[in-house]
Structure 1
Amino acid sequence: MKRHAPATERNRQPIADVLRGVLPERGLVLEVASGTGEHAAYFARAFPALRWQPSDGDPEALASIEAWQADSGAPNLLPAVLLDAATETWPIGRADALLCINMVHISPWAATVGLMRGAGRLLRPGAPLILYGPYRRAGVPTAQSNEAFDESLRGRNPEWGLRSLEDVAAEAEANGLRFERLLEMPANNLTLLFRRA
């Protein structure tokens, strides 16, 4: 029932370091596509003044998230909710920050469109949307490991694959989110920071 993603142990501390300078001091963080639940358990302990709301569109992922939650002992880690980013109806009406790790490339483009619409609805002005994962950038060569990863993803599902940073930023802008900055992360990943206008 409890799933494990090896990349989580490698990337959780670098992501937490970025979050430390971006998340509000208090409030609700909605994590979209929480996957195994390992990040949620780790970040809830790292940021005890924030309420951490994990979510996922896969019922099996929810079971894993709940198992990690039970072991975490973090009182600020809320029960996981079923949330399909591509849909118009989300089970959460307001959040003080949105975090989405490694979903944009492992889902159809409709999920990214839905994520941006949801962030535009849920976030107050100035609140952050933080994305983490590999992206393509105009004028910047893509790492060979990311090219191989993209090929592997498209082999599993032709609707998946690395997205263009410019396309993601345009979709964000169309939903009232302005691109603030990107941060280079380990293993050829990026953190993208947007804020609700």
Structure 2
Amino acid sequence: MSENKPYSQACENNKQVILEKLTAVFTSPGTVLEIGTGTGQHAVHFARHLPHLTWQPSDHPDNYQLCLPWIEDSGLDNINTPLALDVNQSNWNLPPINGVFSANTAHIMSWEDVKAMFRGVSAHLQQGEAFCLYGPFNYNGQFTSASNQQFNRYLKQQNPAMGIRDIEDLKEVADQNELVLEADFEMPANNRVLIWRRL
């Protein structure tokens, strides 16, 4: 790894277990939008191991170029140029996409941003296409671990608008946007992969 590359230890820790789930979901050739690409470590790993896919990185306009060192060093031709994406924009200005992936975004975004993300995802997916959302989630208003509760406290100290989201609230928003929860996989470190399918 060159010194100028941004680095996330969490990405390194979880990229392989997430890939196993994505391999089973994104089986057909197409373009997958990643919301919140961050360092680009996930984008490179998934594009390398899923060569039938074109990976479309995106991130907040203030952050979307962070991933460029990883993408440029990868030499992969199935990763598109990263896009600046504000989920609250009514027009996301995307190329045609066939799936969406996002990791560790729902607890960083405000709740209004989370709702906007679901609206935008639904608007860009066709019937039967998938939205894979990775991260920590609560169930019936309860934390799944003490470490998640501590993490949520830390998030709230950084910004009161952040926080671990409740699965029931997400289901309600998804229902309003013609997305149904098809699968909910337990992952290491008290995280989940939620597979939403466009109706």
With the length of structure 2 as denominator, give the TM-score of the two structures. Answer: 0.94
Contact 1:93 1:122 in 2 (8 A): no
Q: Which runs of 5+ in 1 are unaligned?
A: none
Instruction: Tell me how many residue pairs correspond in the alignment.
Output: 196
Structure 1 residue 69: Cα displacement: 0.5
Preserved CA contact (<8 Å) 1:2 1:63: no
From the superposition, tell whether residues 11 and 62 of structure 1 become closer, same or farther in structure 2 (CA, over 3 Å). same
Question: Could you tell me how far apart the structure 2 residues matched to 1:147 and 1:90 are?
Answer: 33
Instruction: Say which SS state the counterpart of residue 64 (structure 1) adopts.
Output: coil
Question: Following the alignment from structure 2 to structure 1, what is the Cα–Cα distance between the partners of residues 175 and 141?
Answer: 21
Rounded to whole Å, the distance in 2 between the matches of 1:139 and 1:154 is 16
- Cα RMSD between the aligned structures? 1.3
Deviates more, 1:166-175 or 1:133-142: 133-142
Kindly state the Cα deviation for residue 140 of structure 1 after the two structures are TM-superposed. Answer: 5.8
Q: Distance in 1 between matches of 2:143 and 2:109?
A: 23
Task: Tell whether 2:66 aligns with 1:64.
Answer: yes
Q: For residues 94 and 120 of structure 2, what CA distance do their matches in structure 1 show?
A: 10
User: What are structure 2's unaligned runs of at least 5 residues?
Assistant: none
Deviates more, 1:84-93 or 1:4-13: 84-93
What SS does the corresponding residue of 1:105 show, helix, strand or coil? coil
Say whether residues 1:21 and 2:24 are aligned partners.
yes
Closer/same/farther in 2, CA of residues 141 and 158 from structure 1, 3 Å limit: closer
2:77 pairs, out of 63, 67, 75, with 75
Mapped pair 1:2 → 2:5: yes
1:138 aligns with 140
Rounded to whole Å, the distance in 1 between the matches of 2:118 and 2:95 is 14
Note the C-alpha offset of 1:65: 1.0
C-alpha separation between the residues in 1 aligned to 2:191 and 2:79?
A: 26
Question: Matched residues, percent identical?
Answer: 37
Code of the residue aligned with 1:125 in structure 2: it is Q
Matched, 1:170 2:172: yes
